[in-house]
Structure 1
Amino acid sequence: MEFESAQPSVVKSIKQRDLLNTWLRLYARNQSLPHIDEYQPERIEEEQPDLVYCTVDARQQPPRLTIQSDGTRMSSAYGSSGKGRYLDEYLGARLAPIVMPVYYECIARRLPAYTIANIDDVYGRIVAYERLLLPFSESDGVTHIIASLKTISEDGGFEIRNLMRGSDQLPIPKLRTIIDRELFHRVPGRIPSGDVLEFG
């Protein structure tokens, strides 16, 4: 599976960009993965329905990811809660081959991953599924991932229930990236050339 090199501006959602900027501030201090306990974005409570927390066991190959909590929106999209289950088993045989490589690349590169895929809801409306993966470490390598999952339809309303499992069609990948450029947090509203950087 091929991944494009990208900078943070590739992320479309303002809220996902805020989550990424908080990660970048922590990463920029030592150019190393932040500890998950340090990660405290503003208004994180508002984002919880879209967030999924996973632990990573990299002793196995490929790594095993266990869902520690899953947002209500993910539970609706997949038709059930995944808490306490291995992510690959929760996704199932149809979806795991196209979703798990994104998590594996995030783990291997130790950098954020951002993808967009198109999915049809049960009424045939096209829904863009935007996934941002943020890696964290408590020791060597990636030990945790926070996934932010956003669903947007140009048609306006759509049916999120069973979105990921209700169609015979698999999600169609539109963008697969690893965010590996401009790994710092740029202060908004300052010098247009971007000369002012924030590392704190």
Structure 2
Amino acid sequence: MEFQSAGPSVVKSIKQRDLLNTWLRLYAREQSIPRMSEYQPERIEDELPDLVFYTVDTSSQPPRLTIQSDGTRMSSAYGNTGKGRRLDEYLGARLAPMVMPVYYECIARRLPAFTIANMDDIYGRIVAYERLLLPFSDDGSVTHIIASLKTISEDGGFEIRNLIRGNDKLPVPTLRTIIDCDLFHRAPGRIPSGDALEFG
């Protein structure tokens, strides 16, 4: 599975960018992924319906991801809750080969991953499924991942219930990236040090 190289600007959702910028601020201190306990975005409570928390066991190959919480929107999209289950088992044989490599790449690269896939709801409306994965480490290896999952339709309304499992067509990936460029958080409206403007 091929992944493009991207910077933070690939993420268009304002709320997902806020989550990513908080991660980048922590990463920039030592150029290493942060601890889970350090990650405290503002207004994260508002985002909890779209977030899924995983623990990661890298002692097995491939790594084992276990769902620790289940965003209510994800439960609706998949048709049932997955808390306490392994992600590959929860996804099932049809979806796991498409989804798990994104998580494995995030773990191997120790960097955020961002993907977009298109799918149809039960009424045939196209829905873009935007996934942002943020890795965390408590012991040197990746021990946790937070996934932010957004569903957007240009048609406006759509039916989220059973969105991912509710039809015979698999999601169609349109973008797969690892965010490995510009790994710093720049406050808007500031000129970074070293890039001072010269007037001749």
Q: Structure 1 length as normaliser, TM-score?
A: 0.95
Structure 1 residue 190 displacement after superposition: 2.5
- Contact 1:122 1:166 survives alignment (8 Å): yes
| Identical columns (%) | 83
For 2:69, what is the secondary structure of its paired residue?
strand
Aligned pairs (5 A) from 1:185-200:
185-191=185-191, 195=195
Q: Distance in 2 between matches of 1:130 and 1:155?
A: 16
Q: Aligned partner of 1:184: which letter?
A: F
Correspondence 1:1-200 to 2 at 5 A: 1-191=1-191, 195=195
Secondary structure of the structure 1 residue equivalent to 2:68: strand
1:182 Cα deviation after fit: 0.4
1:194–1:187 Cα change, 3 Å: farther
Q: How far has the Cα of 1:194 moved from its partner?
A: 9.6
Alignment gaps of 5+ in structure 2: none
Asked if the contact 2:186–2:192 (Cα under 8 Å) also holds between the matched residues in 1, the reply is no
Structure of higher CA gyration radius: 2
- Ranges of 4+ aligned residues in structure 1 off by more than 3 Å: 191-196
Amino acid at match of 1:92: G
Which secondary structure does the structure 2 equivalent of 1:95 belong to? Answer: helix
Q: Which runs of 5 or more residues in structure 1 are unaligned?
A: none
**Structure 1 pair 192–167 and aligned structure 2 pair: CA distance change class (3 A):** farther
What letter corresponds to residue 55 of structure 1 in structure 2?
Answer: T
User: Residues 156 and 140 (structure 1 numbering): CA distance in 2 closer, same or farther, change over 3 Å?
Assistant: same
Question: Partner amino acid for 1:179?
Answer: I
Contact kept in structure 1, 2:88 and 2:100, CA below 8 Å: yes
TM-score scaled by length of structure 2:
0.95
Aligned residue type for 1:17: R
CA distance in 2, matches of 1:115, 1:176: 5
